[in-house]
Structure formats: structure tokens, C-alpha cells
Amino acid sequence: MRSKTSFFNKTVFKKNIMLFWPLVICYLVYGIVKVPGTLWMGIRQQTAAGYAQCLTDSLSLEADFYAAAAMALISGMLLFGYLFKAESANMMHALPVTRTELFFTNVISGFFFMFVPQILVFLVTMLVSLSHRITQVQYIGIWLLSVMGVSFFLYAVVCFCVAFTGQLFALPVYFVVVNFLALGISTGVRAVLSFLGYGISYSATPDVFLLRILSPFDYLCSHVCIRAYYALNAKGEYVVSAIRYNGGKVVLGYLFAACILYLLAWYGYKKRRLESAGDLLTFQWVKPVFRWGVGVCIGYMAAALLADFLQVVFIPVTEILFYVLVNLFAFLGFFIAEMFVQKSFRVFTRKRFKEYGLFFAFTLVSFAGLLLSSRLMEQSIPKEEQIAGAYIEMNYPVQFLGDDIKKVTDLQKELIQNKKDFRYAGSMDNDVSVFISYRLKNGKYIHREYTLPAGLEESIRISEKIYEYEVQPENYMKFMVGLDYSEISDITEVNLDNIEETGGYAYTVRGEGAKRIYQALLMDVKAKALQKYNISNFLVCSYDEWRLQYPAVAMSVEFKHPDGNWKSVYDQMNTGDAGTETEYTDGMESSLEVDDKTSGYLYLEFGEDCKNLIQALVAEKVIQSVDELDFHGDLNE
């Protein structure tokens, strides 16, 4: 009789359904409450114009992805649970059913547990939508396909993890590791680079795109979504003008990856030893990978955490000390991992110490690579012809263009030359941070962050140079008003606070008087009188000393920009000359057609040296003389 290979066993499938049907009911209840339930409740509280928003809220995918991950994991733990005990594993594999049949029957059972509730939720949601004449029902179908596709992939990850462990509660750990390992590696490498590299913050380190894709769950949650697109209606209310779906290609890519994972899981299931039930790992070749991986992760993570703590308590951590910490914790991690693998404390053998010798060499090479990379990053300064704009920030960003860009690159070279003195000078409350940013012509950005320690002559010299840039009238007005400060002519009102006669209440000036006060303000800025009341070099004097030296009065100015496309220094630094206005609200991209983008607001403080401003206040009869102004050293009192 001709033999044939079967991939499905009806008896095993029916047994799975009879045993675990409550799981299906629980998932179905969640889906009914989350999607059609949320939609129905939203419709009860909305007019027909808001039904699209209710639909979008009910179809938000992130929560459904978390539910699908939990469902896939629990299904895998239940359906493949017999593999984690020697008695049940031997019994199941003694039955007249092949490993291939068992594997694929359990896979199909998992599909049944996940897909049937999702399809029922889809049908109920369609009924709710059509009964209320919601026409954008195609997004309900997109929701179903997305959730089913992600569930298909996540269950593949579970099956893949099943093949590599013989312990039930190791399965969820492996599932999380597979979904976030690449992201964890990327985060760890970036954290170490930012620690080793002078002037390199975590955000300035490169984020490798491939590592993000290899962290599937995080990537799916951040790239697959159904979003509402908002706009202002005639009544000034935000309404949904369109619904968009993002991430279809991402789901298709992970579907292809899932097929490969199912094949690898099938192969691993067939090759696993039944005696491995109860073991942390089922294949011998995985064990050294596990030891090395745990050792490296614990070594760098624990060293970074301890180094941060030591620096907080004013103990500087050099590269050599950091490497010693890495090796100490890596040693512990390596042998702790071996204890879990062997299920014994007797792991300090000659064979394992020989392996640790190779592992030690690996940590040395990896640290040398990270140290070299950080050195290259900290010494890297873009060429002037590559830079579209350069920025220095101590109190606020100062923009440098054209030939002036060299001032920024020269300053950065000075900071790097003083690395030894600045980096390990200790941390104090009155240290000052300096930020340097480059906007390149190719659209990329480079950001560096340095600390000027208090008490060092060189750091004071550099801070005074930056402060001199900040008090320049043009730079200061670009920061306070905008890049179009010279074109401002429509001053709507000026508000003056802290007048002694009025007990601290504001005095408001409008019309031509407000314009004349603003012009006087510009004259004081040109004379560099106003700047010293609003910005200071805190390496030279503390905040309290500065305010006592320059007691001030607060005032505000409201005005109109001549063009709604005006930019601040921060806008120029982050977006350059291109880009459209987009606002993000609760993770949803919204196009905001704001009626008035020209409104401007300026808050500042002035003192006795601002002669032009005081004269203008007297001329407009806001005050009779300077004696009426209540100058004091702490405006927060």
C-alpha cells in the first residue's frame, strides 16, 4: 500500500478545540468590546459628522497587536505544552501520529483560535457601521487583514521559540527576546557610544534601520496604523477629513518572514530531542550562543548603569574603569547563564574557563570597536562646504551662515582639545551645557553636547565667547521674535507688569503707542542694554547673583508676523527652509488649517539701563518717571 505524508490530524485538532475553547471566547469578548463596542459607544455620543472619528478610534491597531501577541503566546504555550514535560512528550510522540502532523495540527489550531474571533469581530463591526450608514467600511476590512497578518507572524515567532526550549515559562521570555533583541542591542550600543564619546548624546548616535526591522513587534506597532486626518471646519472645530492606512507593505514583509519561521520551526520540531523536555535549551549549539549573549548584555548594561550612578555621585568613570566594569559583569553574566543551562551551581570547570577565555577576547574586541567608533564620531566635524547652517546654544541657539560657519567649527575644535580637562572635571550645579548643531546640505543633522565645568579658566573663556555671540542684537532678535524680526511692524499691544502704584497689575498699551514702545525696545537691544536682563553667563555668576546685579521689570509684547510661514531659530535649526506644518496629537497625524499663523508673543525683562524703553514708557504716560517702576531681583517672588 502506498504511504503518504499527512500534515493534519482531525483527532488532535478536535481535542485542542474541546480543551481550549474558553481561550477563544475570551479573545472574542475582547474583540467585541474593543472594536464594535467602542464604535457603538462612540456613535451614541456623536453626530453623524463625527462617525468617521468613532470608526478610527475603534480601529486603532496598537492595542489589537498587543492582544494578538498575548493570544499567540498563550495559544502556543497551551497547544505545545506537552513538549515541556518528559512524560507528556513521550506519550504524545508514542501515538500513531508523526511529528509533522502534530506540528502543523497545532499550528492550524492556533490559527483557529486567533482568526475565528477576528472574523466574527469584523462581521459585527460591519453590521454596526452599515446600520448607522458609515460608508468608509473598507477600513474595517483593512483592520481585519492587518490583525490577521500580524497574528500569523507573531504565532510563527512563538512556534520558532517552541523549537528551542524545553521549559514552559522560558517560552514567553524567548518570545520577548526575539521581538526586541535587535532593538535592545541597538539601544545598548548607542548608550555605550554616547558614554564613551565626548560630546555625543544618545540621540546623536546612529539608529540602524536594519536593527529596527529586526525588532518586529516594536516596528509593527510604530509603522502599521489607521490614522484620522483632521482639518478645521467652518465652525472652527476639528473634524476628520480623511482616514489613512499606513504599513501595508510592512505587514506583507513580515508575512514572508513568517513563512520562513514556520519552516524553521517545523525543522527544529522534528530535530529536537524528547529528552530535552525540562531543559532551558533544546540544541547543544545554542548553549554557547546563550552564554555569550547573556554575558555581553549583562556586562555592558550593568556597567553603563553603574557608571551613570558613579558620575551622579561625582566619581568620574574613565574608559579603562568602564572596561573593567564591563568585564566584571560579563564574567558574572557568563557563568550565571551557564548555571541556568546546567541547572547547577557547579559550573566552574576547566572546559568552561577555556570557553571564557575566548569570550574575554570577544569582549576586548567589541569594546575596542566601540571605543574606536566613539573616537571617530567625537572627532568628526563636517566640512564647511557641506554645511547649510551651524548653531551654537548656551542660552539659546545662535545661527551662523556662510563664512561665519567657521566660527562654530573652530569652537568645536577648542572643546575637543579640552576634552581631558572638561570631561572629568566633575559635575556641579552651576556647570553649563553647550550645544552645537549642523544642518547639512544633504538634509541630515549633526548634534553635539558639551559641558563647561565651573571653576576652569578655559571653560569660562569659551562661555564668554558664546555669550558675546548671544548678546549681538541681530542674533538676539532672531531668537526673541523670529528670523523676520526686521519686518515686524504690526504691534497689537504691550503689557507692563509690576508697577508699584497698581500693586503689580498689568498696564496695557495699544495702537501707535505700542509701536513706539517696540521701537524703543529695538534701540535698547541695539545698544546691548536689554540683553543683560534676559540672558546671562552662569559660569561667571550664578542666577541669584545675576538677578541681584540686574533687577528687572517684566513686560510682554504681542505682534503680527507679516507672513504665516515665518520661522524661529529653532525651526530653522531643525527643519531648514523646507517642510510643511504638521501636528501630532496622540500619535495621529493631523493637518491643521489654522486661521492665523502670524500671531507672535514676546516676554522679556528690562532694567534701569534700558534708557530708550523707559523714556518711551514715560512719553506714552504709562509712568511718570522711572521711580514708579518696581525693580526687584526675583520676578518669581
pLDDT, tens only, 223-247? 999 888 776 666 656 667 778 899 9
Residue 614 has pLDDT above 80, yes or no: yes
Sheet containing 490-496: which strands, arranged edge to edge? 507-510, 490-496, 553-560, 599-606
User: Is 4 within the bounds of a domain?
Assistant: no
Q: What's the Cα-to-Cα distance from 582 to each of 229, 591, 592, rounded to whole Å?
A: 11, 6, 7
d(CA 565, CA 572): 12
User: Is 5 within the bounds of a domain?
Assistant: no
Q: What is the pLDDT of residue 15?
A: 93
Residue 444 has pLDDT above 90, yes or no: no
Q: What is the mean pLDDT of the chain?
A: 86
Q: Residue 280, Cα to own-chain centre: how many angstroms?
A: 33
- Of the candidates 442, 470, 498, which is a domain's last residue? 470
CB 530 within 8 A of CB 602: no
Mean pLDDT of 316-341: 92
Domain that holds residue 143: 10-281
Phi, psi of 551 (to 5 degrees): -60, 145
User: Is 451 within the bounds of a domain?
Assistant: yes
Q: What is the pLDDT of residue 300?
A: 93
User: Is 465 within the bounds of a domain?
Assistant: yes
Residue bearing the bigger pLDDT, 529 or 593: 529
User: Is 3 within the bounds of a domain?
Assistant: no
d(CA 403, CA 259): 57
Residue 358 has pLDDT above 50, yes or no: yes
Residue 349 has pLDDT above 50, yes or no: yes
- Of the candidates 222, 250, 281, which is a domain's last residue? 281
Q: What is the pLDDT of residue 633?
A: 59
Same domain, 157 and 249: yes
Same domain, 372 and 425: no
Same domain, 72 and 153: yes
Q: What is the pLDDT of residue 54?
A: 85
- Count of H-run helices and E-run strands, the chain: 22, 12
pLDDT, tens only, 137-172? 899 999 999 999 999 999 999 999 999 888 888 999
Same domain, 373 and 429: no
Same domain, 300 and 266: no
Give residue 626's pLDDT band: very low, low, confident or very high (50, 70, 90).
Answer: confident
d(CA 550, CA 239): 49
Give residue 611's pLDDT band: very low, low, confident or very high (50, 70, 90).
Answer: very high
Tell me which amino acid residue 585 is: T
d(CA 74, CA 71): 5
Of the ranges 242-246, 571-575, 586-590, which one carries the lowest mean pLDDT score?
A: 586-590
d(CA 323, CA 415): 25
Same domain, 456 and 577: no
Q: What is the pLDDT of residue 234?
A: 62
CB 56 within 8 A of CB 146: no
Q: In 3-state terms, what secondary structure has residue 371?
A: helix
Q: Residue 590: beta bridge partners?
A: 583
Residue 595 has pLDDT above 60, yes or no: no
User: Is 633 within the bounds of a domain?
Assistant: no
Q: In 3-state terms, what secondary structure has residue 578?
A: coil
CB 384 within 8 A of CB 409: yes
User: Is 323 within the bounds of a domain?
Assistant: yes
Q: What is the pLDDT of residue 233?
A: 62
Domains held by the chain: number? 4
Same domain, 531 and 571: yes
Give residue 272's pLDDT band: very low, low, confident or very high (50, 70, 90).
Answer: confident
Give residue 45's pLDDT band: very low, low, confident or very high (50, 70, 90).
Answer: confident
H/E run at residue 177: helix 170-196
Q: What is the pLDDT of residue 366?
A: 94
Same domain, 50 and 155: yes
Q: What is the pLDDT of residue 426?
A: 58
Same domain, 489 and 591: yes
Question: Sign (positive/negative) of CA torsion 209, 214, 220, 222?
Answer: negative
Same domain, 557 and 463: no
Q: What is the pLDDT of residue 80?
A: 93
Instruction: Rank 1-5, 573-577, 599-603 by mean pLDDT and report only the highest.
Output: 599-603
Same domain, 417 and 519: no
- Of the candidates 379, 402, 423, which is a domain's last residue? 379
Same domain, 597 and 529: yes
Residue bearing the bigger pLDDT, 53 or 182: 182
Tell me which amino acid residue 508 is: T
Q: What is the pLDDT of residue 278?
A: 77
User: Is 2 within the bounds of a domain?
Assistant: no
Residue bearing the bigger pLDDT, 7 or 577: 7
Size (the chain), residues = 637
Q: What's the Cα-to-Cα distance from 296 to each of 29, 161, 251, 323, rounded to whole Å?
A: 43, 21, 32, 12
All three cell numbers of 323: 572596561
All three cell numbers of 174: 524567548
Phi-psi region of 504 (alpha: psi -120 to 50; beta: other; left: phi over 0): left
d(CA 64, CA 379): 46
